[in-house]
């Protein structure tokens, strides 16, 4: 089962649970909204430029990061009926494989990312269905990154990936299922952000530094509760 199929199945389960859940003591016009979502994180990961190369990368070297599906919590505050501020909480783990001349190589074995994001959202008036658009800053913070097996065979013993600030564009729709604040939500974000991977030898020499395009699509579906 691929990542998008898994996300679709998870969204369907969450949505079914929402419809069958007894009404909570919420408020459909409340100031606060909490979402519990299944989220697909679909990054790029290709090399944009090579900063340092002491190992002699072959011509046509390229990379690709894997997709992932994670749970996400979103908290939103409505300043007005049409304007809100939202932040999300999740961690997503990825590895990076070679492509082109590096096809089949494992470059990064493990990279845990905290995509700290805050968006300012505008909600359109479309009857009970509430489509929205948003934009805001995002900070990608990397934890526990490790060189892959093939990078280690070339002498890389340590990897550091730069934390980066970027921008997220957002669009989605909230669909109420009762008048007590419970509903279903579908959301998509496009991030514009990159990172630089620094590979070091056992003597702490930087043997390779590559600039990567991440620019992930982040697509979510789940339930919300407004109060």
CA 18 to chain centre: 24
DSSP 83: E
Q: What is the pLDDT of residue 23?
A: 45
Q: What is the pLDDT of residue 29?
A: 86
* φ and ψ of 185, to 5 deg: -130, 140
Q: What is the pLDDT of residue 1?
A: 43
Instruction: Count the Cβ atoms, other than its own, within 10 Å of residue 175.
Output: 15
Surface-to-core class of residue 144, CB atoms within 10 Å of its CB (0-12 exposed, 13-18 middle, 19+ buried): exposed
97/113 Cα distance (integer angstroms): 17
Name which of 39, 41, 51 is nearest 162 in CA terms: 51
- Mean pLDDT score of the chain: 91
Q: What is the pLDDT of residue 44?
A: 96
Name which of 155, 87, 156, 93 is nearest 121 in CA terms: 87
Domain architecture of the chain: domains with CATH? 3-226 (2.40.160.20)
171/218 Cα distance (integer angstroms): 11
Q: What is the pLDDT of residue 125?
A: 87
CB–CB of 107/98 below 8 Å?
Answer: yes
Q: What is the pLDDT of residue 25?
A: 61
Q: What is the pLDDT of residue 8?
A: 47
Q: Which residues pair with 223 in a beta bridge?
A: 36, 184
Q: What is the pLDDT of residue 28?
A: 84
Q: Which residues of the chain have pLDDT under 70?
A: 1-25
Q: Dmax of the chain from CA atoms? A: 64
Q: What is the pLDDT of residue 128?
A: 83
């Amino acid at each position: 089962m691929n990542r998008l199929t898994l996300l679709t199945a998870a969204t369907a389960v969450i949505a079914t649970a929402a419809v069958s859940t007894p009404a909570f003591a919420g408020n459909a016009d409340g100031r606060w909204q909490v979402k519990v979502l299944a989220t697909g994180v679909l990054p790029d990961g290709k090399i944009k430029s090579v900063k340092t190369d002491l190992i002699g990368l072959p011509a046509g070297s390229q990379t690709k990061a894997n997709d992932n599906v994670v749970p996400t919590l979103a908290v939103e505050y409505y300043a007005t009926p049409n304007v809100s501020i939202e932040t999300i909480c999740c961690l997503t783990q990825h590895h990076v494989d070679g492509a082109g001349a590096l096809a089949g190589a494992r470059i990064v074995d493990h990279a845990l990312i905290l995509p700290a994001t805050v968006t300012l959202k505008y909600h359109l008036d479309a009857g009970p269905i509430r489509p929205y658009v948003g934009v805001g800053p995002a900070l990608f913070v990397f934890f526990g990154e490790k060189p892959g097996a093939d990078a280690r065979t070339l002498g890389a013993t340590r990897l550091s990936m730069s934390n980066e600030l970027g921008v997220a564009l957002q669009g989605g729709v909230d669909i109420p299922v009762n008048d007590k604040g419970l509903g279903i939500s579908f959301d998509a974000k496009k991030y514009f952000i990159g990172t630089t991977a620094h590979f070091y030898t056992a003597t702490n020499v930087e043997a390779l530094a590559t600039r990567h395009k991440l620019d992930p699509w982040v697509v979510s579906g789940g339930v919300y509760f407004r109060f």
